[in-house]
């Protein structure tokens, strides 16, 4: 059984159980065994993280940046190996997805985090010399990161954006590996540990556990030695962790469910309907629909163009071969969610069932419901169907489309497609005014699937998309401030101020 990374050492786990990853294309277990840690491993990691947090206060920004850059270099050097392991565990293709798209995104954000650490601009220092006040953002303390299953590199607890932002802000990280890809997490943790040593950071700056029992997990996130947790995953799991953390005063940053509504207005369908059908199908099926920004909901206004367009979307989706899902849990949850949508009044236009083949596959699925029925059951009809699935809501008229928009829950994104000739301008303006309050990122004539790693990006949104609408999981240096506290020094002698607040 593989060891855990605790206190700067790979050591045998005090295991309460074990698990294996599975090959999603066959459904068969892989050979390697990983531990489910008992509380003693959790306790040791928390103690080591507390010690590391104090020692990191004495480390220079250059040392932290050097770690991030060295780690990025090591990931690139082992890229072929990492992509092969990740592909076995997730079913995602080595090329282009893992090696040529996701890994460069991961190393790029690590290097952006290093640059932000060196510049220090994220601290936003403010000085009032006459009053002797000096204020700015500093490290918060130990962070526990829970990564999702759909990005084994870019959102992994041991390498992704939350990891990079927490470390860049000067905090130690306890990574909770996802059970769907423990092998690639282990290999990256080895590279991270070596980079910690080379940079001269405290050994427990980076730690990793593969798993723990549900009770120990809730106990751990509610331990006051943690400053915050960062979680990406299902709403049910996120809310349990949030309750346990916040009951002890531990901050919880959560990315959970999001339906990412896309409104297709009549003029847009009349101008370029076939192109938009291809765009929607491509976005819904990209990565088997396993993106947090996948358009789970599209809204149209009834009419001849609408009916023909939906038939075109259904034909496009049914003509494409289903691609593999990440896990048996993903497949099972998708089956349950689609059934729930049907029970709430949606009709299946195409797909709607497990594909008849070994492994974890689901048919490409389009469902449809009237605007009136949606307004009768808006909560049930916004259940996130994580997979190659979307629900089309057909409003009777423009007023009903706006009413649908008002019922949409908080989402990461919202989009409106409108005619170039201005035919849709009045309705577009009205919808965007409503949707601005519903989503963290508002798009016009563009699918929401891609998330640029840019300082101007917001990958967040109102509940239930996230646990807090004022923060983003993508976009440095802003994403670092989730893991920072505002420090004020009042009448502290100048030579005793931290270096970044010594006003020259």
Domain 59-119+130-256+466-501, second-level architecture: 3-Layer(aba) Sandwich (3.40)
Percent of all residues in the chain with a pLDDT value above 90, rounded to a whole number: 99
pLDDT score of 504: 63
CA 363, 232, 294, 154 torsion-angle sign: negative
Give the strand pairing for 297-301 and 389-395: parallel
CA 31, 36, 40, 43 torsion-angle sign: positive
Ordered by start, the domain boundaries in the chain are 59-119+130-256+466-501, 262-444
Q: Which helix (H) or strand (E) holds 412?
A: strand 411-417
Tell me the pLDDT tens digit for each residue of 428-452. Answer: 999 999 999 999 999 999 999 999 9
Which of the following is catalytic: 42, 292, 294, 298? 292
Q: What is the DSSP letter of 441?
A: E
Distances, alpha carbon 286 to alpha carbons 394, 474, 504, in Å? 24, 20, 52
pTM of the predicted protein model: 0.96
Which of the following is catalytic: 43, 89, 102, 255? 255
Confidence of residue 304 (pLDDT cuts 50, 70, 90): confident
pLDDT score of 69: 98
- Of the candidates 143, 141, 138, 140, which has an alpha carbon nearest to the alpha carbon of residue 120? 138
Active site residue 292: yes
Active site residue 407: no
Domain 262-444, second-level architecture: 3-Layer(aba) Sandwich (3.40)
Half-sphere exposure of 456 (CA within 13 A, CB side): 1
Residue 503 has pLDDT above 80, yes or no: no
- Mean pLDDT, the chain, rounded, equals 97
Q: Quick check: 147 and 176 in contact, CB under 8 A?
A: yes
Tell me the pLDDT tens digit for each residue of 150-159. Answer: 999 999 999 9
- Of the candidates 280, 274, 277, 249, which has an alpha carbon nearest to the alpha carbon of residue 262? 280
Q: Quick check: 363 and 353 in contact, CB under 8 A?
A: yes
Tell me the pLDDT tens digit for each residue of 177-229. Answer: 999 999 999 999 999 999 999 999 999 999 999 999 999 999 999 999 999 99
d(C-alpha 327, C-alpha 329), whole Å: 5
Q: Quick check: 262 and 299 in contact, CB under 8 A?
A: yes
């Amino acid at each position: 059984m593989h060891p855990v990374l605790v206190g700067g050492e790979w050591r045998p786990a005090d295991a309460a159980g074990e698990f294996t990853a599975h090959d999603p294309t066959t459904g068969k277990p892989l050979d390697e065994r990983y531990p489910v840690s008992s509380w003693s491993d959790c306790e040791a990691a928390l103690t080591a993280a507390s010690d590391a947090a104090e020692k990191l206060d004495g480390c220079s920004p250059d040392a932290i940046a050097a770690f991030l850059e060295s780690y990025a270099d090591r990931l690139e050097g082992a890229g072929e190996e990492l992509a092969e392991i990740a592909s076995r565990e997730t079913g995602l293709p080595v090329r282009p997805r893992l090696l040529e798209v996701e890994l460069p995104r991961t190393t790029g954000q690590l290097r952006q985090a290093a640059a932000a650490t060196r510049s220090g601009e994220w601290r936003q220092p403010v000085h009032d010399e006459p009053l002797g006040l000096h204020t700015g953002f500093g490290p918060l303390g130990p962070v526990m990161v829970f990564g999702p299953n759909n990005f084994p590199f870019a959102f992994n607890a041991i390498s992704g954006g939350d990891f990079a932002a927490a470390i860049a802000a000067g905090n130690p990280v306890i990574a909770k590996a996802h059970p769907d890809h423990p092998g690639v997490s282990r290999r990256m943790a080895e590279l991270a540990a070596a980079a910690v040593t080379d940079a001269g950071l405290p050994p427990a700056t980076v730690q990793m556990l593969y798993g723990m029992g549900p009770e120990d997990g809730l106990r751990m996130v509610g331990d006051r030695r943690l400053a915050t947790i960062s979680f990406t995953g299902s709403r049910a799991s996120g809310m349990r962790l949030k309750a346990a953390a916040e009951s002890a005063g531990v901050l919880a940053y959560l990315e959970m469910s999001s339906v990412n509504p896309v409104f297709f207005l009549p003029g847009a369908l009349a101008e370029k309907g076939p192109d938009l059908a291809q765009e929607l199908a491509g976005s819904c099926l990209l990565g088997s629909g396993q993106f947090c920004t996948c358009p789970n909901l599209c809204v149209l206004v009834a009419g001849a163009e609408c009916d023909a367009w939906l038939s075109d979307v259904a034909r496009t989706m049914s003509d494409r071969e289903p691609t593999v899902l990440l896990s048996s849990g993903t497949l099972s949850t998708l089956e349950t969610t689609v059934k729930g949508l049907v029970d709430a009044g949606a009709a299946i236009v195409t797909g709607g069932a497990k594909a008849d083949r070994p492994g974890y596959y689901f048919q490409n699925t389009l469902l449809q419901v009237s605007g009136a029925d949606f307004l009768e059951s808006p909560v049930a009809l916004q259940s996130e169907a994580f997979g190659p699935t979307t629900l089309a809501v057909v409003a009777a008229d423009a007023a009903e489309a706006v009413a649908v928009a008002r019922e949409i829950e908080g989402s990461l994104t919202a989009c409106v497609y409108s005619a170039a000739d201005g035919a849709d301008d009045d309705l577009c303006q009205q919808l965007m005014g409503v949707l601005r309050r519903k989503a963290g990122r508002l798009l016009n004539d563009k699918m929401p699937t891609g998330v640029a790693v840019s300082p101007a990006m917001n990958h967040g949104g109102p509940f239930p998309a996230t646990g807090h609408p004022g923060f983003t999981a993508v976009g440095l240096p802003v994403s670092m401030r989730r893991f920072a506290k505002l420090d004020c020094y009042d009448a502290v002698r100048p030579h005793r101020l931290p270096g970044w607040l010594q006003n020259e």
